[in-house]
Amino acid sequence: MIPSAGHPQVLVLRDIGEVRAALKRARVSPGGTEIMEKKALFRVIRVTDLNIRAANILKQEMLSRGGEVAVSRDVYEWEGQKADCLVMGTIAQFERLLPKLRSQPFGLRPLAGRIEAALRNYDEAVPLCPSGIPLADGPLLMGILNVTPDSFSDGRAYSGVDEAVRAAMQMAEEGAAFIDVGGESTRPGSDPLSVEEELSRVMPVVEALAPALPGRVSVDTYKARVAADALAAGAYMINDISALRVDPEMVAVVRDAQCPVILMHMLGEPKTMQQEPVYTDVIEELHRFFVERLDWAVDNGLKEENLLIDPGLGFGKTTAHNVQIMRSLEAFRSLGRPIVVGASRKRFLGDILGIEEPKERDAATAATTVMAVTAGAHIVRVHRVGLNRDAARLAQAVFGPRPDAR
């Protein structure tokens, strides 16, 4: 009997490393591997508001290289001035396309640079960041320390500064790279807090904690005065849910301190953000938001390496929006900035699983940690550090960079 050919198998190849490993197992020569490795990875890039003439040129150039460009009907009917495109091809095809675009008019030259940056950022496991954020060590955990009586999850959990500091030290011992101290509840429907009241809650904890955990204290605030005083007391990072939009003095504070800043997306404000939030395309709109905020921050003197992004799960999003963000989280890698994810104990987890009590959502939170790490998130903000540390380590072991399989 003549043996039949081997059974066909669909390979899951996520990055160049996995492609090279597959080619090696197939006994492809080093020269052949170098030629073919970029032909095995397919990418789809969305380009919006492109000049209609540029869209026609882009389609023809990519078609001539074996790729494809899906365009809106306006391109064929020559209606309007702008078009949306989905550019589809292998990395090798994009590399042949970009030099040609750099010689074309109608805005294609700068577009080539942006496409190149998006592809590079997407495949870069460790984006540029301050030395105090060791992303090369794998996903980092940020422990949540709410020193507020009305937090949605752990209000009144700490009766005093000593208890709060003990809790923070315990989180650090369990593996938290950062402790995020928050003095104002930003749960849906909450009212703003005065600067004086927030300072009275936050500063005693920061002043006690910063010397014990140098370079590891973050402060969750959108108020410039709170940020300035906390940084002066030794805080390392500012986590601003408004992405520097609420307090006009905040940008100067973080610029002068040259500290890392988390820019979070929020639709509206905590008081009203959950009152029927609407998006046409939540992923595209968040992407546009981050492009605008990152550009604005750099234009106002902040170093790009100091900027992190957080899609703001639960901040002006329905359960469906939050699920879509988690499903498409890796899309934000193309922005080239560290991604922070905070799903811990959020209401959408309870809505999905029928769990009313926030503290009973820790297992669900661990599941979102696995999802976030798998998608390439860099920092995960959680209440239960030990549980999520193990979830993150497991996800990193399975889905993170790995040596060639034998």
Question: Which string of DSSP letters, residue by residue, matches 132-188?
Answer: TS-GGG--EEEEEEE--TT-TTTTT--SSHHHHHHHHHHHHHTT-SEEEEE-S--ST
| CA 78/CA 262 separation, integer angstroms | 42
Cβ neighbours of residue 392 under 8 Å, at least 6 residues apart? 138, 139, 141, 369, 370, 373, 380
Rounded Cα–Cα distance for residues 249 and 389 (Å): 36
Query: Dihedral sign, CA of 121, 242, 349, 147?
Result: positive
Q: Which DSSP string corresponds to 269-332?
A: -TTTTTSS---SSHHHHHHHHHHHHHHHHHHTT--GGGEEEE--TTSS--HHHHHHHHHTGGGG
CB 312, CB 289: distance < 8 Å: no
Q: What DSSP state is assigned to residue 64?
A: T
Q: At what angle do helices 91-101 and 52-63 cross, to 10 degrees?
A: 130
Name residue, tokens 């920061």. Answer: 206
For this structure, is 346 an active site residue? yes
237-240 and 261-264 beta bridge pairing: parallel
- Of 116, 105, 125, residue with least CA distance to 50: 105
Tokens 């930003």, located at residue? 186
The per-residue b/e assignment along 100-110, b for 16 or more CB within 10 angstroms, e otherwise, is bbeebeeebee
Catalytic: 381?
yes
b/e code 305-329 from CB counts within 10 Å (16+ = b): bbbbbbbbbbbbbbeebbbbbbebb
Given 346, 347, 361, 384, which residue is catalytic? 346
Nearest-angstrom CA–CA distance, 15 and 41: 7
Catalytic residue among 20, 345, 381, 384: 381
Can you spell out the DSSP letters for 82-149?
EEEEEEEEEHHHHHHHHHHHTT-TTTHHHHHHHHHHHHHHHH-SS----TTS-GGG--EEEEEEE--T
Task: Enumerate the active-site residues.
Answer: 346, 381
